[in-house]
Amino acid sequence: MQYSFAKRNAIGAILIMLILLSMSCASIKYLKTETVKEANISGTVTLYFYEEFYYGGVAIIDVEGDDYTFEILASQYNYSVKNNLTADQAMDEAAKFIATWNKQMKIILDDSGTIIGYEIRPLFQISRHGTSDIFDIKYIPSGDKIRVAVDLKSNVKKNYEYDLYRGGS
């Protein structure tokens, strides 16, 4: 059976499209986080403050001396960094920064389950936003960097956009 030139090109094009489709569907790998009651931090740390207009912010504590550094994926106007803090200094500053009625602390784990950082996020009254936890935070490993993507959860974002449309705040 002979294939014509057009059929071979069509088959080749279909194979290329399938390969590209399978590559584009490859999932991004995120690091795991787990909620904890208290932190057991020692040594020096780097403290990242991420602030979302109107909603407050999130504090991320990077344990210095490990194999990773954190990189916030946001405009330089949305975050600040403090280096070489003690754990107590970082926890005090994070508590002042996140001034809500309740907070949640999570540990950030690398692929082997080692704690590489801590996250402290605000919790709100459910009646205010429909959920107490309004942030969607992803930790994306990329070599020796951990890229941090912070966003509002989609339902909170929709409500905020609706309020702006109505002329509210």
- State residue 10's pLDDT score: 55
Rounded average pLDDT over 66-76: 93
The SS3 of residue 77 is: coil
Q: What is the 3-state secondary structure (H, E, C) of 20-57?
A: HHHHHCCCCCCCEEEEECCCCCCCEEEEEEEEECCCEE
Residue 140 lies in a domain: yes
Model confidence, pTM: 0.77
Task: Say if 144 falls within a structural domain.
Answer: yes
Q: How confident is the model at residue 162 (pLDDT cuts 50, 70, 90)?
A: low
Q: Is 129 within a domain?
A: yes
AA identity, residue 77: Y
- How many CB atoms within 10 Å of residue 57? 23
Name the average pLDDT for the chain: 83
CA distance 101 to 114: 30
Q: Does the residue 74 lie in any domain?
A: yes
The whole-number pLDDT of residue 143 equals 92
Q: Is position 95 within any domain? A: yes
The pLDDT of residue 97 is above 80: yes
Domain count, the chain: 1
Residue 7 within any structural domain of the chain: no
114 domain-assigned: yes
Query: Is residue 96 assigned to a domain?
Result: yes
Beta-carbon neighbour count of residue 113 at 10 Å? 9
How many other CB atoms are found less than 10 A from the CB of residue 87? 18
**Per-residue pLDDT tens for 13-66?**
565 555 555 545 557 789 999 999 988 888 999 999 999 867 789 999 999 999
The SS3 call for residue 83 is strand
Expressed as residue numbers, the domain containing 156 is 32-166
Closest among 157, 68, 78, 82 to 117, alpha carbons compared: 68
| Distance in angstroms (rounded) separating the CA atoms of residues 12 and 149 | 38
